[in-house]
Amino acid sequence: MLAFLWNLGAFIVALGILITAHEFGHFYIARRCGVRVLRFSIGFGKAIWRHVDKDGTEYVVAMIPLGGYVKMLDERVEDVPPELQGESFNRKSVWARMAIVAAGPIANFIFAIIALYLMYLIGVPAVKPVIDSTTANSPAAVISLQQPQQIVAVSGQQVRTWEDVNLALVSHIGEQQLSLTLSPVSDLQEPSDTNGKTYALDIRQWHFDPDKESPISALGLHIYRPEIIPTLAEVVSGGAADKAGLKVGDTLVAIDGGLISSWDAFVQQVKASAGKTLNLTIKRNGEQQILPVTPDSHLDTDGHTVGYVGISPVVPQWPENMQIELHYGPLESLSMAAQKTWQLTAISAKMLGKLFTGDVSLKSLSGPISIAQGAGNTASFGLVYFLGFLALISVNLGIINLMPLPVLDGGHLMYCVIEAITRKPVSDRIQEIGFRFGAALLLVLMSIALFNDFARL
């Protein structure tokens, strides 16, 4: 319940910030263009707070935080007194109306830059993208590794973190080939690919389910991780390990008489032993003892029954030369934020196009539940991660609103462009048909996104 409330609260905060930024774009440019704004509303339904300024604009915060709107004076919607007709939206030039409509999505991109600017100014700790092996018979199997190597570029695009790698890989879905440039792990903050070796990967058969694996693992890349020391950092109260008498600080030595070679090997053996008693040899206060443990049973994401004992190990420290902090000065942070926003915009637009061509599955669509989980998770990690999340969602919100669907800003822009070319407005009948079509298509996409959300729960 606490996790649900935390995710819900983070979702409402994130959505409120993004909607306010979007609607403020419309509001600000409308006023600059001489249009009278009647209401600036964040949310729908019954107002829980309202204020009217000296210009007569009503500011509202409503109960349903799933959108917002800016209501402007418009003769097509209601009767307007003759003395106010000059302040009507419909009386403005087509170029002014285009500016007002486009200002919302543009505000989302500007907000993304601001959020990323603050993120880089504060500083973001990250891990360098280092791999230590590849999977046989995978696209990455052509890579030969004698020691851990850092990925410094994907198809010529420089990458510094696993997030960069992930975004770059995703942008190649549906293509035939990509290249990875690898280099020895460097102590420098900025990687250099001048001495790196580039591998061409055939990705024609590269497919993956985003709910079950990442593009990194699906490609056959094994992320380098420090070796886990099997000393217990947590024992879940009431779990199988707790009932067997295991305690925080115990070190696992053997399982059924066989030495534990790695934490992963131990986990796999436990998973395969649901309901079966295992004899765990542990070291406590310098002395060894054997404790019988019977793993509980639960279902994994594939619906298979696996064993679970309820313990977690001490988290190992990453080597210093594999850590990086994305921290820049005021001017450089602005440059980095603008570059990152452009990268996110290009990748998001590319992925949206591939969604309609079929290269990307509709299963990848996410709705409010997934967004709420993402908001809660990033907020729990800290402010800088939450800012990065806000920037990503803001960019996607801007791109979606620019889609040429009449129910969205992009549809209104499309009508304005047609009017600018033909020198006459699109008829109300055509606009109404377009609105119904756009609303129906948007409803279908939202339904698919919600279905995907519930399927992931």
Distance of CA 207 to the CA centre of its chain: 20
Both structure tokens of 53: 């300024």
| Catalytic residue flag (residue 320) | no
Report the residue count for the chain.
457
| Cα three-residue angle 332-333-338, rounded to 5 degrees | 100
CA distances from 276 to 291, 300, 388 (A): 14, 18, 45
Determine which helix (DSSP H) or strand (DSSP E) holds 111, and give its type and residue range.
Answer: helix 94-122
Q: How far apart are the first and last CA of the chain?
A: 14
Beta-ladder partners of 235: 311
Is 360 in contact with 354 (CB distance < 8 Å)? yes
Beta-ladder partners of 181: 153, 198
CA distances from 65 to 17, 45, 393 (A): 11, 9, 16
CA distances from 169 to 70, 80, 219, 371, 429 (A): 38, 54, 9, 22, 44
CA distances from 223 to 227, 283, 419 (A): 12, 30, 54
By C-alpha distance, which of 66, 20, 63 is closest to 45? 63
By C-alpha distance, which of 149, 141, 136 is closest to 181? 149
DSSP 121-183: HH-EEEE--EEEEE-TTSGGGG---SS-EEEEEETTEE--SHHHHHHHHHTTTT-SEEEEEEE
Supply the DSSP symbol for 87.
Answer: G
Do strands 149-154 and 232-235 pair parallel, antiparallel, or not at all (unpaired)? Answer: unpaired
Cβ-proximal residues to 86 (8 Å cutoff; 6+ apart), any chain: 34
Beta-ladder partners of 153: 158, 181
**Cα radius of gyration (the chain):** 27
Q: Dihedrals φ, ψ of 7, to 5°?
A: -65, -40
Catalytic residues, by residue number, are: 23
